[in-house]
Structure 1
Amino acid sequence: MNTPFNRFPLKPISLAILAAATLPSASLYAQDGSEDVIEEVVATGTRLKGTATAVLQERKNQAFVADILGADQISRTGDSDAAAALRRVTGLTLVDGKFIYVRGLGERYSSTQLNGASVPSPDPTRSVIPLDLFPSDIIESLSVQKSFSPSMPAAFGGGNVDIRLKSIPTDFVFNMTGKIGSNTNNFDDAYQYNGGSDDWMGEDDGTRAAPDSIVALWDSKQFLDDLSTTEARDILKELNKDYDPVLQSVDPDYGFNLSLGNNFDLNEDFRVGFLLTAGYDNSWDVSEGFIGEQAQRSGDLISFPRFFDEVDITEHTVRWSGMANFGIDYNRNHRVDFSSVALNDTRDQISEKVGNTNNIQLSDGQRIRDFEVVYEERQMWSNQIRGQHTFTDLNFLGFDWQFTKSRSSRYAPGAINTRFILTDNNEDGIYDKDTESSLTNATTAARYQFQRLDDRVENFSWNLNYPYAIDKFDMEFKVGGDFVTKARTAENRRFDVNTRGFSSSSTLQGGVFSEILSDANLDAAELSSIALLSDTTIAGDDYVAAQKVDAYYFEADIFFDNTWRISGGVRWEDYRQAVVPFDPKTNQIDLSDEADRAQLAFQESDFYPALAVTYIMSEKVQFRASYGETVVRPDTRELASSTYIDPLTDFPIGGTPGLRTTQIKNYDFRWEWYLDQGDNVSVALFYKDMDSPIESVQSPAQDGPPLVRIANAENGELYGVEFEFLKGLGFIGEGIWDNLFVSGNLTLSDSEIQLNGQNVVEQTGVSTSVTNLTRRLTGHSEYVVNTQIGFDSDNGEHSASLVYNVFGERILIPGIDGFDDSFEQPFNSLDLVYTYYPDFNTTVKFKIQNMLDEQKEIVFEEKVLRSETRGTSFSLSLKYEF
């Protein structure tokens, strides 16, 4: 289609900056067939706003409301992965460092694509992929579409995030980057434990894995229920018990990246190209915190009978990535690309916690000490082949297609949690972890857990577009199909160490788990009739899920007189999903009631229309308005009644068979003003009307944290306004002001849902006492602020950015029993990135993050429920281009 780009002319210097910023990531081949090539262009000037203006052209020409974040913008703000980078986009907030909330809607209300294709998730509790899995070094751009169009999935609430990976370069590329850094929290010694020899690779060497003897019992469906005391002792001896925390110095963070690419003319008709990238990152995060559990109220006083007031956490993360892209072009009109990407993110965390419970009280001279190890390997592999074809003899008819086959996995061996009793025997007020400690005499003195999840996705889509022009009309008509097949299998095995199997409690004295349960002590210990191991795997720990989506869509994009643009169409989607929980011990479905079984299958088909109208008032000003009808469906685990642990809150969550789909009507309006030299201002209004929004509620628990259930609210709404701007400061005066610019965005919004307590009880089947039946959406922030002050020197050798981000408080845990909702508190993030270009080939970058030394807090009724320090991190990197 002949899109009238010339409606938005930029000054020549801005065009030069824009071209310079986008050329390295441009398409491999020119489309005009010209053989004339400009070998080199040397421009003397500043990088002023180059990174921020590089994506203006694409954003201006989007038919539907969208925000684009380019690779240079990501580099300028110093964000290391897709999740961290996306928090810079207007109206987006980051939760747990992994999930993006668009316009205050939780991660379930956003969909994620990789190069326009559906991707699997390695998260056992969510079908949405954690975005921290994608390192920024392989990302070409991030597109966040906030208004629905028929060519994207109908499962659309807040927006659709498309992660577009780097493609074939236009010229030879060979560069290497090395980096080193640390965090102020890492300066002192921190708790660590003995892992495996391959931990630096992000891979367990078998140290944490379950012994073969236990795996054989699981495979034979015998499990550990009927072991004799001798058999239990022999198996316990085979287990890895060397998890004890030891204070050690923390290594610095380090990493590297490598890119190699080029393209070649085979003859007059064929051209080929490739791009290879590899990256590795090894980092440590040390923090301190507080954890409160099950609050109690006495008059105006709120207390925690169970709490940990000494929490020390050390997290070791190893990430590596690899990507290979190959492309071939015929006659500039037909192109086929193949890309393969492999990602790994390994988290190894140990926490040392001291606190009290209902029965173990400080007033009695006792404390509890827990240490916990959580180790998980998250991986994703994706292979994609894409074709783009233009048939010039058929009025430039276009045909695009792609096929993507991808899989993800989460392997979590050897998670362990232990409990010790600390007694102040000498009454000196100090609870010595070595001399005044004993492993608790309980049925669960320690718990081992082993988990495995595999998610597979196949996605095939095609798109046929036909441009047509007549008189003052430029039109393009598009039809397409999108077919997605997903399959997931998950299993969980757990067992407890029952120290009541020892005849004498003196065996449990000491503070080192591996010594108390050493082979020598186990052989010498006198055992009772109680087995030392008990299998606590429960029904629902295993499940399989399948999902299939067949979709067809039609879109029309019509320009009239370069003044009006009308885009719209309809999508038809047939959605089928089934989730089946199993009892691992019987391999039978974990639901005896036929009615409940019937609700495990979920099927719906419907039409989803969308319409967008753009009025081009002048060369610099345009107005957009759009409407779309979309849907949000329950996640796979939420349709099964089995219970799982939410890694965000550590609360148990129970699914609800028969959850209803959330129907959403989306309204958007945006005014955009594009000024000279890349300056721009935009104001957007949005409103969402939701029927049966899927929300979290709580049910009181007998022991431990309350049980969270998933249920439908009656209705809900979300509305707000977004401001965005980019402005050079040269208008203030000459000199330094010419080298500065300011950009930022502000989102102000509100939401409300209505819950019916009786309907929630009937739907979930459990009693609940919701404090606020009318409240905001879970995860919704009433404001989000992003600002950036940028500097570029006249000689182009120096650039710097001071970046600030903050979000308003948001509900993470809905309140029950008269207690108010628990809110995650605003986190004021202030980062500084300085870049030095000593010559044409070298880039030196220094980065400081969280300069205000903010900490993460969850608060209810002015009472801190949880807190965690984050520290100030800093890093230095050197990049050389050959």
Structure 2
Amino acid sequence: MTTSILARLLLATSALGTVVAAAPLHAQAQPAPAQPTPADDDQDVDVSAPGAGGMDAEDIVVVGRYIPNVIRATPSVVSVLSAADMARTGEGDIAGALKRVTGLSVVGGKYVYVRGLGERYSLALLNGLPIPSPEPLKRVVPLDIFPTDLLASTMVQKSYSANFPGEFGGGVINLTTKAIPDEPFLNLSGSLSGDTVTTGQLGYTYRGSRSDWTSFDSGTRSIPTPLNAALNSGRALSRSNFTLDELKTITMSLNNEQTNLIQSNDTIPVNMSLGVTGGTAWDIGEDRLGVIGSVSWSNSWQTRGGLQQTTFGISVDGSGNQVINPDQDFRFLSTENRIQLNGLLGVGYEFGEHRIRFTNVYIRDVLKEARIQDGIDVGIGEDPVNKNYTSWFERQLFSTSLVGEFKWDSWKLGLRGTYAKSRRDSPYERMNSYRYDPVIDSYFNDLRTGGTSSTIAFSKLEDQVWAGAADVGYTLSTERPITLSAGYAYTDNSRTSTRRDFRYQSADVLPVGVSQQRPDFLLSPFNIQMFDIYLTEVSAAAGVAKYDAGLTIHAGYGQVEAELFDGFRLTAGVRYETAKQYVTPVDLFGTGEVSGSTNLDNSYWLPGVTLTWNFAEDMQGRFAISKTIARPQFRELAAQTYTDTDTDRTSFGNPYLVDSELLNVEGRYEWYIGRDERLTLGAFYKKIDKPIETISFNNGGALTTTFANAPKAELYGLEAEVQKYFELGGSGFFADRRIFASANYTFTDSKIKVSDGDTTRPPGGGGADAPASDYFRDGAPLTGQSDHVANLQLGLQNQEKLSEQTILLSYASDRVTQRGLGDTPDLIERPGVRLDFVAREEVSIGKTPLELKLEVRNILGTGYRESQTLGDSTVYNNKYDIGRLISFGITAKF
């Protein structure tokens, strides 16, 4: 069976974080020592990535030496997760599986940080092609939306090579979808799960629509005709543009009770999922045609309850010590209902040494949340405030791609093209705030007093990508192998984002009895009509409600892979990349006052060199140096205000951001002990010019964030990984089993560099320079960087059939999530230690094999904590428990 260029080389990868060796050098190859492996480890790993260089497996031979490892692949440093690896972790999405890879950490459950660099420094590709993001806060795609069931492999490349895009700060994550099956199959799967904090416990819900469980709204959240006409009128919704009766008609048209009334639920349901995957293939002479398809649905719940505090400054206690105290001190409880619907249809055709892959992926990920906060806001007063929120966030991605990989003797040609579109829709994003009045001994919301309000927002984002690439490679007929390759890539990424925010107001003071009513009664059509309650738009500032953005990239590269002399292999290339990026605020209201546009037009020469020295029979060293870039994300440039629902913080962009440039240096020692057994030690260094970091300020009593370029930053670290199998022998249960052990550790240290005279351009300054020391502290770590990240896997594997029992332990040390306001300390997240257990077992009922899977997650009950500490005082920005999860799944294989 013909495989893609990299697929031929990434053979029999069986463990998480597999470090792929540089291809051994020229001369005679020797057979690998025989060693039994589990059945699913004997399959090729299917990887589809850009580039046409490298050598096929049959071409890889060694001058006088042999590395006894079946992995004889790319000249760059990569980690690969095969389908077997992802199954072993038991994770449902690729973000969860990737946190086991050396040097990687996952923030927020969806964004992958490579070697401590934030998600803006990671690039995600699907079958070697770019993916649009459905997130309004990011251009990078959140990886939690990709189920592992859709993927054949995931490759993480950490050292840059010129065949990859120049936005390669920490690394590139290439997802390869399933293609041609080896034989016809049909799998039916299902699972049930629950956690100790959520399932069967108290949580909050709201009605929504009857079809929410499908991930589709039945029309309950559709924008009503009167409001839609007002939105398209070119006039902001206000008393100056509409009559009171018109505003009341628009306000009454909104769905109220079904989207605005939170109810307690004492028995939150269990999580469940269903899926079907099938495929077949036909031999057409010596050619092969295959089809594979997959559909899955899942419905899960998570309740979080704890503290959310904010401090706005430093004070002095009675002993004269500096302390921080919470200026906002809230307890909260929220329940998220997540519904996912995913599908894949792939067609593959192999003829001779050629392969064509046509892949269509559909991912729909919906989050329905109900949340209540109760506490004190010093800026409002000493009386408690109660806030309730309801929301419905739809994330959707569709991608269709066509990839052709061809080979004729010494020539290779790769052709790739894709159209992908993502969407995020958030209708009826509601908030109601009530304030306690000790005089009436009750909470009230009169829509006008401090601490009382009702708001509603509608937002929509569409992001699409057209991309294509062509790569050609030629292997010279010389005594030592030399491969020349070159390519061209084009990407056009466009985005439109609209957010309309509204606040309920009353023309006159509401009666006390009315202001005490629950939200659905307070904002009922009767009250709207009787007491002149109406909507007014608070997104009316020019350029805030909508923006258009785009990024067009043209790139070309040339690369050579050559054996210089015995034991030395060089890969060197350079990429020329030119990009035009814009973010343009759109004046929806005809004010003619739009400002804050961004237009970046930059070109770069981006070289990358890797030298591999095979200095012993089973050992080699590697050195790599390169230059890469990181562009500001659309959201970081746009003036549109947005609330991050994960942290409840409001942020907006800075149109004066510029590109970051990185210098990357890496050295690595690799010892291949035996088949799929290795020890690797590495060191890396990165110098970043103008890194983009968050800055914070107090905006009317709310902690608000934006972005700015710091002058410089440096990052360095060490990596170590060991993987080993231990044969057990004996009889009975242990007769055909072996112990699998894998451990990795990454140390990273980073520092922002701020010197006298350094400047930055904050938003609101008209593009004028300001002292960088006003916004950044010299020596502060980069956001998201943990000093220590470690993973350990210990498992039993049956070498004759599917039977695995694996313990997974992960640890990440404290990391900065956000800069503190003014002189207050940075906000620090404590990921801590997480212990999981996954067991997979194959049994048969009649002639039908069944795969049973048991997962026990977060055995230690590690919770989430984000805090600021000064001396003996601590403010908990976010603190809540995370339950211990137990899941049981079954897959029938036909």
Normalising by structure 1, we get a TM-score of 0.89
Letter of the structure 1 residue corresponding to residue 188 of structure 2? M
What is the percentage of aligned positions where both structures have the same residue? 26
Matches within 5 A, 1:333-732: 333-358=353-378, 361=381, 366-392=383-409, 396-423=410-437, 436-442=442-448, 445-471=453-479, 473-499=480-506, 501-510=508-517, 512-523=518-529, 525-527=530-532, 531=534, 533-539=536-542, 540-560=544-564, 563-586=567-590, 588=592, 590-591=594-595, 597=597, 600-705=598-703, 707-730=704-727
Letter of the structure 1 residue corresponding to residue 745 of structure 2? L
Question: Matched residue of 1:514: which SS?
Answer: helix
Question: Matched residue of 1:127: which SS?
Answer: coil
Match of 1:855 in 2: 863
Contact 1:687 1:719 in 2 (8 A): yes
Contact 1:621 1:673 in 2 (8 A): yes
Letter of the structure 2 residue corresponding to residue 347 of structure 1? L
Match of 2:841 in 1: 836
Please state how far the C-alpha of 1:442 moved relative to its aligned partner.
1.6
Match of 1:11 in 2: 33
Contact 2:709 2:760 in 1 (8 A): no
Letter of the structure 1 residue corresponding to residue 444 of structure 2? S
Can you list the C-alpha shifts for 1:368-410, whole angstroms capped at 9, x where unaligned?
1111112111011111111122223xxx311110111111010
Question: Matched residue of 1:12: which SS?
Answer: coil
Letter of the structure 2 residue corresponding to residue 635 of structure 1? Q
Match of 1:317 in 2: 338
Question: Matched residue of 2:468: which SS?
Answer: strand
Contact 2:326 2:875 in 1 (8 A): no
User: 1:104 & 1:367 partners in 2: Cα distance?
Assistant: 40
User: 1:467 & 1:354 partners in 2: Cα distance?
Assistant: 68
Question: Matched residue of 2:832: which SS?
Answer: coil
| 1:752–1:761 Cα change, 3 Å | closer
2:329 to 301, 307, 317: 307
User: 2:400 & 2:185 partners in 1: Cα distance?
Assistant: 23
User: 2:225 & 2:727 partners in 1: Cα distance?
Assistant: 70
Number of aligned positions between the proteins: 828
Contact 2:227 2:253 in 1 (8 A): no
Match of 2:18 in 1: none
Match of 1:45 in 2: none
Can you list the C-alpha shifts for 1:298-340, whole angstroms capped at 9, x where unaligned?
31442222221x210100001111111112233x133322111
Q: Which moved further from structure 2: 243-252 or 101-110?
A: 243-252
Matches within 5 A, 1:210-225: 210-225=223-238
User: 1:699 & 1:19 partners in 2: Cα distance?
Assistant: 53
Please state how far the C-alpha of 1:610 moved relative to its aligned partner.
0.7
User: 1:651 & 1:560 partners in 2: Cα distance?
Assistant: 55
User: 2:79 & 2:679 partners in 1: Cα distance?
Assistant: 13
Letter of the structure 2 residue corresponding to residue 580 of structure 1? T
5+ residue gaps, structure 2, are: 10-22, 49-54, 59-67, 317-321
| 1:458–1:150 Cα change, 3 Å | same
Question: Matched residue of 1:749: which SS?
Answer: strand
User: 2:656 & 2:523 partners in 1: Cα distance?
Assistant: 46
User: 2:556 & 2:88 partners in 1: Cα distance?
Assistant: 39
User: 1:677 & 1:329 partners in 2: Cα distance?
Assistant: 29
Match of 1:42 in 2: none
2:106 paired with 1:88:
no
| 1:568–1:534 Cα change, 3 Å | closer
User: 2:593 & 2:142 partners in 1: Cα distance?
Assistant: 29
Please state how far the C-alpha of 1:446 moved relative to its aligned partner.
0.8
Match of 1:741 in 2: 740
Match of 2:120 in 1: 108
Contact 1:549 1:576 in 2 (8 A): yes
Letter of the structure 1 residue corresponding to residue 541 of structure 2? I
Question: Matched residue of 1:22: which SS?
Answer: coil
Letter of the structure 1 residue corresponding to residue 349 of structure 2? I
Matches within 5 A, 1:290-301: 290-299=307-316, 300-301=322-323
Q: Which moved further from structure 2: 479-488 or 184-193?
A: 184-193
| 1:769–1:235 Cα change, 3 Å | same
Letter of the structure 1 residue corresponding to residue 551 of structure 2? Q
Please state how far the C-alpha of 1:176 moved relative to its aligned partner.
1.1
Q: Which has the higher helix share?
A: 1
Can you list the C-alpha shifts for 1:535-586, whole angstroms capped at 9, x where unaligned?
5443322000111101111111112566221111110111111110123222
Question: Matched residue of 2:96: which SS?
Answer: helix
| 1:498–1:526 Cα change, 3 Å | closer
Contact 1:467 1:476 in 2 (8 A): yes
Can you list the C-alpha shifts for 1:514-550, whole angstroms capped at 9, x where unaligned?
1222233444x344xx855445443322000111101
Letter of the structure 2 residue corresponding to residue 418 of structure 1? N
Normalising by structure 2, we get a TM-score of 0.88
Please state how far the C-alpha of 1:7 moved relative to its aligned partner.
5.9
Contact 2:728 2:734 in 1 (8 A): no
Match of 1:122 in 2: 134
User: 2:751 & 2:730 partners in 1: Cα distance?
Assistant: 46
Contact 1:787 1:805 in 2 (8 A): yes
User: 1:569 & 1:794 partners in 2: Cα distance?
Assistant: 42
User: 2:158 & 2:801 partners in 1: Cα distance?
Assistant: 35
5+ residue gaps, structure 1, are: 35-54, 428-435
| 1:328–1:741 Cα change, 3 Å | closer
Match of 2:793 in 1: 788
Question: Matched residue of 2:384: which SS?
Answer: strand
Match of 2:52 in 1: none
User: 1:690 & 1:804 partners in 2: Cα distance?
Assistant: 32
Question: Matched residue of 1:834: which SS?
Answer: strand
Contact 1:441 1:505 in 2 (8 A): no
Contact 2:314 2:324 in 1 (8 A): yes
Match of 2:14 in 1: none
Question: Matched residue of 1:203: which SS?
Answer: coil
Please state how far the C-alpha of 1:777 moved relative to its aligned partner.
0.7
Question: Matched residue of 1:177: which SS?
Answer: strand
Matches within 5 A, 1:140-289: 140-186=152-198, 187-226=200-239, 227-242=242-257, 243-248=260-265, 249-266=267-284, 268-289=285-306
| 1:56–1:22 Cα change, 3 Å | farther
Match of 1:66 in 2: 78
| 1:400–1:24 Cα change, 3 Å | closer
Letter of the structure 1 residue corresponding to residue 486 of structure 2? V
Please state how far the C-alpha of 1:642 moved relative to its aligned partner.
4.4
Please state how far the C-alpha of 1:720 moved relative to its aligned partner.
0.4
User: 2:298 & 2:858 partners in 1: Cα distance?
Assistant: 20
Can you list the C-alpha shifts for 1:67-116, whole angstroms capped at 9, x where unaligned?
11111111111111111111111111111111111000001111110010
